[in-house]
Structure 1
């Protein structure tokens, strides 16, 4: 039987020694640098919630913001070539400076999102989507069917057909996921708890998007792990 191909993704992931990385990894209970679970940082007063279950879905992916969504490698491409291309591509790009990050609810899940809109960030993300497109294999029928289960606008469907992911270009929204889908009754309280924890863990102020990370998932049942973290510029 043919082994499933690994998947790769281009993410923003903070430096492993940063307070932001420690906050995100502890919130999810997983460190994608080591590939190991870590103690969950459950906000005080919320010990009654099953925090392991709340964070189960994003834990599989590690703490990150998606730049180019997970993909299998195209025929004729290999991991070494992907890593070499990424190093060359990233070396000449300046960091993107955000005014800050804040905790917000996106529908029924909680994430860190930019405090202020950034056109520079939008352009940066779409540049990466396009630049790495030659490395992406076409979506399998199963993956395409899974994507089509979500309600998509005509523009989203066009992006899906072109890039294997519907939320790129003007549909891109930078976010660093901290929970899975929550019951409606818990969204506001979990958001408030994570907002308080974030303010206590990190100083307010600008956040530089200063690196691009390559994450790898060996099989669909495994967690993503950090393969490369390449500083911009």
Structure 2
């Protein structure tokens, strides 16, 4: 499988939530640096073992899931399209955050996901679908393995390469891999201590961030931010 690209939301690299997430997961996807040091409520080694996948993908919320580019598309074209999209789109409220367990994974999620956020994510999925290469039959079978997807989720996966889009979309920024049931309360307390007020802060989706997996299994890297300004749309309105 060749390199993959993903369109995520992640806090700005200068924002406190990004700094806290790097400390928690122990890796900076912008520089590739490993981050060590003590954590409140848990040991670094214990959390390292419980966040292997979360650390590899980097702190983010998936908007357009990792994809191999279609044969007629390039990274430069994807970046140009992201810049154009960001110039048309306005920031979207995520609302107040909260810590939550999703199928055993600890994550930061909206306390009450706004409809506008769900709709915006769907717009991104559709807008960038032409950049996605279709998976092979073997890849499709691998994704279906386990039989946990509903008929609707399989339909969405076949159409858009990812089952959790449109009405199935749930905004979440993952902090751990799936935790054993007896450890979930302890890690929830540790995350609450680590993130403090940031775990309940009002948050805006003000950018789309391009992440890159250079080869299968490699850590994802943060390539660039595309700030949602709505400038192009506003210019057209002013020109009328």
TM-score between both structures, scaled by the size of structure 1: 0.93
Report the counterpart of residue 149 of structure 1 in structure 2. 145
Runs of 4+ in structure 1 off by over 6 angstroms are none
Q: What is the CA distance between 1:199 and its match in structure 2?
A: 1.6
**Structure 1 residues 195 and 203: alpha-carbon distance in aligned structure 2, compared to 1, 3 A threshold:** closer
**Structure 1 residues 91 and 157: alpha-carbon distance in aligned structure 2, compared to 1, 3 A threshold:** same
Asked if the contact 1:30/1:36 (under 8 Å) is kept, the reply is: yes
Question: 1: distance between equivalents of 2:227 and 2:99?
Answer: 25
Asked if the contact 2:99/2:199 (under 8 Å) is kept, the reply is: no
Question: 2: distance between equivalents of 1:41 and 1:174?
Answer: 29
Report the counterpart of residue 106 of structure 2 in structure 1. 110
Matched, 1:171 2:190: no
Asked if the contact 1:26/1:41 (under 8 Å) is kept, the reply is: no
Task: Identify the structure with the greater helix proportion.
Answer: 2
Report the counterpart of residue 39 of structure 1 in structure 2. 36
Report the counterpart of residue 135 of structure 2 in structure 1. 139
Asked if the contact 1:29/1:41 (under 8 Å) is kept, the reply is: no
Asked if the contact 2:104/2:179 (under 8 Å) is kept, the reply is: yes
Matched, 1:228 2:224: yes
Please list every run of 5 or more consecutive structure 1 residues that lacks an aligned counterpart in the other structure.
Answer: none
Asked if the contact 1:28/1:40 (under 8 Å) is kept, the reply is: no
Q: How many residues align?
A: 228
Specify which of 7, 19, 23 is matched with residue 4 of structure 2: 7
Matched residue of 1:37: which SS?
coil
Asked if the contact 1:73/1:135 (under 8 Å) is kept, the reply is: yes
Question: 1: distance between equivalents of 2:164 and 2:139?
Answer: 15
Report the counterpart of residue 120 of structure 1 in structure 2. 116
Question: 2: distance between equivalents of 1:144 and 1:14?
Answer: 32
Specify which of 52, 73, 80 is matched with residue 56 of structure 1: 52
Asked if the contact 1:93/1:232 (under 8 Å) is kept, the reply is: yes
TM-score between both structures, scaled by the size of structure 2: 0.90
Specify which of 180, 183, 188 is matched with residue 183 of structure 1: 180
**Structure 1 residues 101 and 203: alpha-carbon distance in aligned structure 2, compared to 1, 3 A threshold:** closer
Please list every run of 5 or more consecutive structure 2 residues that lacks an aligned counterpart in the other structure.
Answer: 230-240
